[in-house]
Amino acid sequence: MAEQGKDLLVINNIEVIYDHVILVLKGVSLTVHDGAIVALLGANGAGKTTTLKAVSNLLRAERGEVTKGSILYKDKRIDSLTPNDLVKLGVVQVMEGRHCFEHLTVEENLLTGAHTRRDGRAEVMKDLEMVYRYFPRLKERRKSQAGYTSGGEQQMTAIGRALMARPNMILLDEPSMGLAPQLVEEIFEIVSELNKKEKVSFLLAEQNTMVALKYADYGYILENGRVVLDGEAKSLRENEDVKEFYLGLSTAGRKSFRDTKHYRRRKRWLA
Partner 1 sequence: MTSDLNFFFEVLFGGLLSGIMYSLVALGFVLIYKASGVFNFAQGSMVLFAALTFVGILEMGVPFWPALLLCLLVMMLLAVGIERIVLRPLVNQPPIALFMATIGLSYLLEGLGQGIWGTQVRALDLGIEDLPNEMIQEALGIQVSTFDLFSAGCAAVLVGGLALFFNKTRVGLALRAVADDHQAALAVGIPLQHVWAIVWAAAGLVALVAGLLWGSRLGVQFSLSLVALKALPVLILGGFTSVAGAIVGGLIIGASEKLAEVYISTFTGGAVAAIENWFPYMLALLFLLVRPQGLFGEKIIERV
Among 67, 70, 80, 82, binds partner 1 (CB under 8 A): 82
Residue closer to ligand ATP by CB (options 64, 219) is: 64
CB within 8 Å of 189: residues ≥ 6 apart? none
Binding to ligand ATP by residue 35, rule CB under 6 A? no
Q: Is 46 in the site for ligand ATP (CB under 6 A)?
A: yes
Q: What is the 8-class DSSP label of residue 59?
A: S
Give the CA count within 13 Å in the CB-facing half-sphere of 78.
28
| C-beta of 56 vs 209, nearer to partner 1 | 56
Stretch that binds partner 1, among 2-10, 35-43, 98-106, 219-227 (CB under 8 A): 98-106
**What is the chain's length?**
271
Tell the smallest beta-carbon distance from residue 80 to ligand ATP (Å): 20
Fill in the per-residue mask, 83 to 102: x = in contact with Mg ion (CB under 5 A), - = not in contact. Answer: -------------x------
Determine contact, residues 125/177, Cβ cutoff 8 Å: no
**Binding to ligand ATP by residue 62, rule CB under 6 A?**
yes
Binding flag, residue 115, partner 1 (CB under 8 A): yes
String of DSSP letters for 115-173: TT--S-HHHHHHHHHHHHHH-HHHHHTTTSBGGGS-HHHHHHHHHHHHHTT--SEEEEE
Q: What angle do CA 115, 95, 192 make, to 5 degrees?
A: 90
Question: For residues 106 and 233, which CB has a smaller minimum distance to partner 1 in the complex?
Answer: 106
Asked if 137 interacts with partner 1 (CB under 8 A), we say no
Positions that interact with Mg ion (CB under 5 A): 48-49, 96
